[in-house]
Structures are given as C-alpha cells and as structure tokens.
Amino acid sequence: MTILSAHIELTGGHTFLLPGDLLGGSVRWRLDERLREAAVQLIWFVRGKGGAEDRVVATIPFDAPGSVDDRVFELGLPAGPYSFSGRLFTLSWAVRLILDGAVAAHQDIVLSPTRQPIAVTE
C-alpha cells in the first residue's frame, strides 16, 4: 500500500489546548489500493534520557474506510499528563492518523493549563 497523501486538520487550527477541551478536526487520505482499517489516535509520548515511550490515550476507528476518504472526529482531552519540557525528557501530545496499522499523519498538540508546555524554572 502506498499513501499518496494523508492530512490532519484541527478545528480552527488550535494546537494549544486546555485539559478537558474538546478537540475536533478532520482527516483525509488518498491511497493507491483498498484500505482495511483507519483510525485517529490521541497519544502522549516521551522522548529523552529515559528512552522513548508512546501511550495511546484514545482511539476513534472509522467504519468502512475508502481508499480516498475524509472523516471528522472529536475527542475529549483528559486532565493530564501535561505537556512538559524538561532537561532530561519531554512529554508531548499528538493526534495520529493510522491507516492499516501504520502512522500516516501526525499532528503535535500542547495540553496544559497554560496552553504552553510546563517548563523548568530552576
């Protein structure tokens, strides 16, 4: 399967979000062959000295996805963990479009009560 194009668009282009916000958007894709499954995932991921970790927080599967398709989605954001930018590791949030088990598109978002990653103050 070759992905010809895949996009994630967030409603209003808002990527700096508060815990509890409703995150809406749309995804569209174009493939060169039939697709078995498609879904949007909300994830947080950690990168740094402690290694890499990805955690799927929510998944919205799409019924009967076509090889050329577009869908809308809506996700309620959890209370945490907050986006964090430390000296040893960073914690980030993202929305991913998954087509047949592979990541086709990725959109970073920030989740924090200040709409900015929590930073080091010392």
Partner 1 sequence: MSAVPPARIRSRKAVRFAGFSAVLMIALVWNAAVLRVVHSVLLSGGPWDLVDWSVFLVVLPFALAGLALIGLAIYLGVPLLNPRVTIEIDPPVAVLGEPIDVSWQFDGAVARIPRLIVRLEGREEVLAPKHTGRGPAMIAERRVFRRIGVIQSSSAEEISRGSTTLRIPRDSMPSFSGRGSRVAWYVCLYGGSDRWPHVRQELEFVVRPLPLLT
**Smallest Cα–Cα separation from 47: which of 78, 86, 16?**
86
Tell me the β-bridge partners of 87: none
CB 20 within 8 A of CB 112: no
Q: Which positions ≥6 away from 114 have C-beta within 8 Å?
A: none
> Where do contacts with partner 1 occur on this chain (CB under 8 A)?
19-20, 46, 48-51, 53, 55, 78-82, 84, 86-89, 91, 113-114, 118-122
Least distance CB 16 / partner 1 (angstroms):
14
User: Minimum CB separation from partner 1 for residue 102, in Å?
Assistant: 23
Q: Which is nearer to partner 1, 73 or 84 (CB)?
A: 84
- Calpha distance 24→30 (Å, rounded): 21
Q: How far is the CB of 78 from partner 1 (least distance, A)?
A: 8
Q: Indicate the residue among 36 and 49 with the shorter CB distance to partner 1.
A: 49
